Chains A and B, each alone.
Chain A
Amino acid sequence: MHESYVSYRNFFYLKVAAALCAVAIVVYGLHQPHEPPNGGTWLGYTLGTLGAAMMGWLAWFGVRKRRYSGTQGRLVSWLSAHIYLGAALLVIVTLHSGFQLGWNVHSLAYVLTVLVVFSGFYGLYVYVAYPRELAANRGGLTREAMIAEVAELDRECLTLADEVDKEAHKVVLQSIEETVLGGSALEQLFGDPARRSASVGINKSLDAVRQKIEARVARGVPNLQSLEDQDATAISFLAEHMIADGGGPERLEKITRLFELITRKRAMVERIQRDIQLQSRLAFWLYLHVPLSIGLLAALFCHVFAVFFYW
């Protein structure tokens, strides 16, 4: 049965972490050093050793998770412990510091620890918040199926456009070539999926033209000059050109069908863009967590080295 890493073994590691923090806080409260609390008292050294050991173990998770046939317990157990003991680290290192901060390598290690833990919290948040949204957006489809559908729609559009007119084909082809799924990291993370479904501009102008054509067909006599061509796009020119060229209800039907296909494609592209966005947001925290963690291990080494170099 599936067991979440959050509630693994009835929050076992949450309890372990809470107990660890409670013990550390109580001992810190009872400890009365003859100097301001700092990392150099017996409690300071104890908490520092504990914190460093925990950091080493937490970092080992990066290795452990790549080993699919681990013999040291299930991965879900490791992840659960990683999350709760990582959070406990905030308390341990803060007490280790004795609330002393300065412009030095020791505080650098402390600040990096805090950043690593909070980037982990952010990761936990996205793993709780996004999967539901992700699944709702996909609606049971895989991304591959969605991309395949876009490709199929593209082909249908091209075929249809080819039957309409060479200009129509050119414009539709242009719209297809301009469709870019995903994009730069910033576009993936923060771009507007609706705006970034590439056919939107085309679709808008097509829509405007269709209304004009429908109006004209209803009146029976197309009158080009009465059109207000506010969308001076290629497609509106094309559509008007088609009508002026004697385009009648058959062409209108094909164009309407083209509209439908493009609208469907647009919706599907938007879903894919949203899927990419949610996936990239789901993954982005790790691009912070991993470099910060490795930076922290380096700073931790500097910190310990400095302490014993200038003993």
Chain B
Amino acid sequence: MRILVRYVSHKGKLNDTAHEVPLTGSRLKIGRGTDQDIHLSNLRVALAHAELIEGQDGKVRLQSHLAAGFHYNGDVVQSAVLTAGDRVELGGHILRVGDAAGCNLALEISEDTSTRGREMEAALLKRARLDLGAAGLRKRPVALAAAAVILGLFLLVPLISATVPSAGKWLRMLPLLPSDHAWQSGAVSDAHAHFGVNCNSCHTIPFVPTRNSACLDCHQNTPHHVESEILKTGLFKGQRCASCHHEHTGKSSLVRHDESLCVSCHRDLKDKFKDTQLLDVRNFGAEHPEFRPTLVHQIDGKPMSVRVALSDAKALRETPGIEFSHQGHLDAKGIESPTRGTVKLQCADCHQAEPGGGRMQPVSFEKNCHECHQLNIPGDVVREVPHGDLKGAVNAVSDYFQAWALRGGYPNAFAPNGVQARRVPGQPISEAEKQDALSWAARNAEMTTAEMLAYTTCGKCHTVTPTGKGSSGADAWHIDPVRIPKAWLPAANFSHKQHDTQACTDCHVNAKKSETSADVMLPGIDSCRTCHGSGDAGEGKLASTCVTCHGFHRAKEAQLK
């Protein structure tokens, strides 16, 4: 190969001097030594530093003899094939590769004057990476990338799934990619979990709080808290379903159990609604009014509900239209049953909770009274009159005696002979005997009916009065209808079943002593308070808030929708 070496020495901007040396050989040595073909004077050049070697293809390779190598177009390498335009730095010298006529290469060699006097230091610094920035660590690009990733994954992707239903459906199913579920602050309540996977079920309009219509799509029959008339006062203006019912706050907190919501109005309800009949309340433990049971009285011929305070002993009398003594029936020695001998009655023999466990089922004559109180026609142990049907009962008595009159053989010395005598089959009685017998029957029926209604049978429990309309027949008598309230406290939910660990008389303390059905045996609030305290009741008391007994959505006619 043939190399044209051009040595350039800088002695100032305009004083560069140069001399050219053409070299020939298959290997040309480069170094500081005097025996080198290309002589480089810098002390940082080894005596035999490198070699130019001609390849088979005519290309020229620069090969370093030092492990540290040389800079080839900015990279540190051990060897490199030189072509025109390359730049090599070697021991403080710069070798520029170019073309020259008749030569493989031209090499322009100059000392690196940019660091003249500080060559060693410059070389040292060139290899060094003195801080993290030089080592490639960056703050700003990493920060921007992190922000971009977060905004992409947690803003853009959820936004797409929230606004494009078909995309949302897929994104919510994909395991790793977030969807608008990543925006969910807490678990959906159990009640709403079955559709809660789709956020748009409730969140219908972006940036607008959940609207009532979303709730009422399902809860369409939910009654309001108060009737329409009171609603007009604007007491509930601005309230939303979600004002009270907070979703995403835990599995079971959808219904507010605290007192504060109710008490915020009911602590001084008259200030908000002056016509209210309700008394103020702040908590159950200390600031709840005494119970005021609802009684049913007959007023102006019509049954009317009346609330009477338990403390008002004078007014606290029921008028149930039926007489009953708990004391008599619950005699500790027992009472005589016509079929079972002596029976000791228990409360539960008559009072059974409704199937749901809440209130008591109404006491029924057939189930609870009839075993002892049979409605026999006097003098007959078999025939009974029907219960609850005055006309039927009166007719039954009349039919009974007419049958005897026509059949004869009635076993009573006071009856006419024609009625007492046993009839011979096929032998008709005379018309006079017939009239006599029927007149006996009518007399006896009227007498027996009066006796049963007024004294022996109906009148034993019911209030029966003659109407004055004739002396016989159903119209002649009036039986007062029974007025037993279904619940003394209709606005409260009480479950007898939940309290069945207690004896009945723990609460209904006077039940065994009561002689009259006018007694109201509802226990007072203090009885409840032996176990139940306010919402903040500590140890020893059951924490009980408004919704423990009362419901909110209770209006009879006003609905939310």
Q: A166-B46, A299-B154, A309-B206 are in contact. Are A180 and B146 (CB under 8 A)?
A: no
B147 at the interface (CB under 8 A from A): yes
Label chain A's interface by main secondary structure: helix
Contact with B along A238-262 (1 / 0, CB 8 A): 0000000000000000000000000
A104 touching B184 in the complex, CB below 8 Å, given contacts A34-B261, A40-B249, A166-B48: yes
Q: Does A286 make an interface contact (CB < 8 A)?
A: yes
A124 within 8 A of B: no
- Which one of A148, A162, A276, A295 lies within 8 Å of B150 (CB-CB)? A295
B432 at the interface (CB under 8 A from A): no
User: Is A178 a contact partner of B124 (Cβ separation < 8 A)?
Assistant: no
Q: How far is the CB of A81 from chain B (nearest CB, A)?
A: 22
Answer yes or no: B43 CB below 8 A from chain A CBs: yes
Total interface residues in chain B, CB < 8 Å? 73
B423 within 8 A of A: no
Contact partners of A106 in chain B: CB under 8 A: 185
**B175-191 with Cβ < 8 A to chain A:** 178, 180-187
- Determine whether the beta carbon of B249 is less than 8 Å from that of A169: no
Contact between chains at A301 and B151 (CB < 8 Å) = yes
The answer to whether A104 and B124 touch across the interface, beta carbons within 8 angstroms, is no
CB <8 Å contact, B162 and A309: yes
User: Which residues in B have their C-beta under 8 angstroms from that of A184?
Assistant: 129, 135-136
Inside 8 A of A95's CB, which chain B residues have their CB?
A: none
Q: In A172-215, which residues have CB < 8 Å from any B CB?
A: 173-174, 176-185, 187-189
Q: Given the interface contacts A152-B120, A170-B46, A174-B68, does A276 sit within 8 Å of B33 by beta carbon?
A: no
- Judge whether A68 is part of the interface by a CB distance below 8 angstroms: no
User: Cα distance A32–B208 when bound, in Å?
Assistant: 27
| B257 proximal to A (CB < 8 A) | yes
Q: Which B residues touch A178, using CB under 8 A? A: 67-68
Which of A147, A173, A181, A290 is the most central at the interface, judged by chain B CB atoms within 10 Å of its CB?
A: A173
Asked if A166 and B131 sit within 8 Å, CB to CB, the answer is: no
Q: Which residues of A contact B186 (CB under 8 A)?
A: 38, 100, 102
Residues of A within 8 A of B124 (CB): 147, 150-151, 154, 179, 181
Task: State the Cβ distance, B149 to closest chain A Cβ, in Å.
Answer: 8
- Report whether B43 and A159 are in contact in the complex, using a CB–CB cutoff of 8 Å: yes
Once the chains are docked, how many angstroms separate the CA of A189 from the CA of B136? 13
CB neighbours (8 Å) of A177 from chain B are 66-69, 123, 127
Report chain A residues within 8 Å CB of B44.
158, 173, 176
| Least CB separation from B183: chain A residue | A306
In the complex, whether B155 has a CB less than 8 A from a CB of chain A is yes
Interface size on A, residues (CB 8 A): 68
Q: Which of B47, B181, B184 contacts A170 (CB 8 A)?
A: B47
- A295 and B146 contact, CB distance less than 8 A: yes
Stretch at the interface among A5-13, A221-229, A277-285: A277-285
Quick check: which of B137-145, B319-327, B388-396, B410-418 contacts chain A, the rest being far away? B137-145
Could you say which of B68, B132, B185 contacts A284, with CB atoms under 8 Å apart? B132
**A54 on the interface (CB 8 Å rule)?**
no
Whole-angstrom distance between the Cβ of A200 and the nearest chain B Cβ: 16
Residues of A within 8 A of B128 (CB): 147, 180-182
- Knowing A104-B184, A180-B127 are in contact, say whether A185-B135 is a contact too (CB < 8 A): yes
Contact check, A182 vs B139: say whether CB atoms are below 8 A apart: no
Q: Are B146 and A302 in contact (CB under 8 A)?
A: no
Return chain B residues, CB-CB under 8 Å to A34. Answer: 253, 256-258, 260-261
Q: Is the CB of A183 within 8 A of B135?
A: yes
Q: How far is the CB of A176 from chain B (nearest CB, A)?
A: 8
The reply to whether A283 and B132 contact each other, CB–CB distance below 8 Å, is yes
Give the docked Cα–Cα distance between A55 and B233 (Å): 45
- Name the one of B47, B65, B131, B183 contacting A310, with C-beta atoms under 8 angstroms: B183
Nearest-Cβ distance from residue A115 to partner chain B, whole angstroms: 11
- Is B246 an interface residue, CB under 8 A from the partner? yes
B557 interface residue (CB < 8 Å to A): no
Cβ contact of A291, chosen from B127, B146, B159, cutoff 8 A: B146
CB distance from A130 to the nearest CB of B (A): 14
| Nearest CB in chain A: distance from B258 CB, A | 4
Q: B46–A169 contact, CB under 8 A? A: yes
Chain A contacts of B129 at CB under 8 A? Answer: 180-184, 188
Contact: B261 with A302, CB < 8 Å? no
Known A36-B250, A170-B47: A308·B207 in contact at CB below 8 Å: yes
A76 contacts partner chain B, Cβ-Cβ < 8 Å: no
Residues of B496-514 at the interface with A, using a CB-CB cut-off of 8 Å, are none
**A177-B66, A181-B130 given as contacts; is B121 within 8 A of A151 (CB)?**
yes
Knowing A105-B183, A177-B66, A307-B185, say if A298 contacts B120 (CB, 8 Å): no
Closest chain B residue to A184, Cβ basis: B135
Q: Which residues of B contact A309 (CB under 8 A)?
A: 159, 162, 183, 203, 206-207
Cβ-neighbour of A36 out of B66, B127, B253 (below 8 A): B253
Closest approach, in angstroms, between the C-beta of A193 and any C-beta of chain B? 13
How far, in whole Å, are A181 and B67 apart by their CA atoms in the complex?
Answer: 18
Expressed in whole angstroms, the Cα–Cα distance for A34 and B124 within the complex equals: 70
B134 within 8 A of A: yes
- How far, in angstroms, from A162 to B46 measured CA to CA in the complex? 9
A151 to B121, CA, bound (A): 5
Q: Decide yes or no whether B118 CB sits under 8 A from chain A.
A: yes
Asked if A287 and B146 sit within 8 Å, CB to CB, the answer is: no
Is there a chain B Cβ closer than 8 Å to A39's Cβ? Answer: yes
Q: Is A155 among interface residues, defined by CB-CB distance under 8 A? A: yes
Task: List, in ascending order, chain B residues with CB within 8 A of A170's CB.
Answer: 46-48, 65-66
Residue of B nearest to A158 (CB): B43
Q: Which residues from A are CB-within-8-Å of B48?
A: 166, 170
**B517 CB within 8 Å of chain A:** no
Q: Looking at the assembled complex, report how far the CB atom of B443 sits from the nearest CB atom of chain A, in whole angstroms.
A: 76
Q: Which of B120, B154, B184, B187 contacts A108 (CB 8 A)?
A: B154
Task: State whether the Cβ of B199 lies closer than 8 Å to any Cβ in chain A.
Answer: yes
Instruction: Give Cα distance in the complex from A284 to B132, angstroms.
Output: 7
Select from chain A the residue with minimum beta-carbon distance to B148: A298
Are A301 and B155 closer than 8 Å at their CB atoms?
yes
Residues of the A chain whose Cβ atoms lie less than 8 Å from the Cβ of B140: 290
Question: How close is A119's CB to chain B, nearest CB, in angstroms?
Answer: 12
In the assembled complex, which residues on chain B have CB atoms less than 8 Å from the CB atom of A108? 150, 154
B417 to chain A, nearest CB (A): 88
Residues of A within 8 A of B162 (CB): 309-310
Q: Are B185 and A290 in contact (CB under 8 A)?
A: no
- How does the 8 Å CB contact mask read for A256-280 relative to B, with 1 for contact and 0 for none? 0000000000000000000010011
- Which residues from B are CB-within-8-Å of A159? 43
B174 within 8 A of A: no
Q: Which of A34, A159, A179 has the most CB of B within 10 A?
A: A34
Are the CB atoms of B249 and A38 closer together than 8 Å?
Answer: yes
Nearest-neighbour CB distance to chain A for B88, whole angstroms, equals 15
Complex: how many Å from CA A291 to CA B143?
4
A308–B183 CA distance with the chains assembled, in angstroms: 10
Residue A3 CB within 8 A of the other chain: no
Closest to B180 in A: A310
Complex Cα spacing A209 to B80, Å: 35
> In whole angstroms, what is the CA distance A102 to B187 when docked?
9
Contact partner of B246 (CB less than 8 A), chosen from A35, A102, A294, A311, is: A35
Q: Is A302 a contact partner of B147 (Cβ separation < 8 A)?
A: no
**B472 at the A interface (CB under 8 A):** no
Beyond contacts A177-B68, A181-B129, A287-B142: 5 other A-B pairs, Cβ-Cβ < 8 A, are A104-B183, A147-B125, A180-B127, A181-B125, A310-B203
22 contacts between A and B (CB under 8 A): A102-B186, A105-B154, A105-B178, A154-B120, A155-B43, A170-B47, A181-B124, A181-B127, A181-B130, A182-B129, A182-B134, A188-B135, A280-B131, A290-B140, A290-B143, A294-B147, A295-B147, A302-B150, A306-B154, A306-B185, A310-B180, A311-B207
Q: Give 5 nearest A-B pairs by CB, closest first.
A: A177-B68, A306-B183, A151-B121, A181-B128, A294-B143
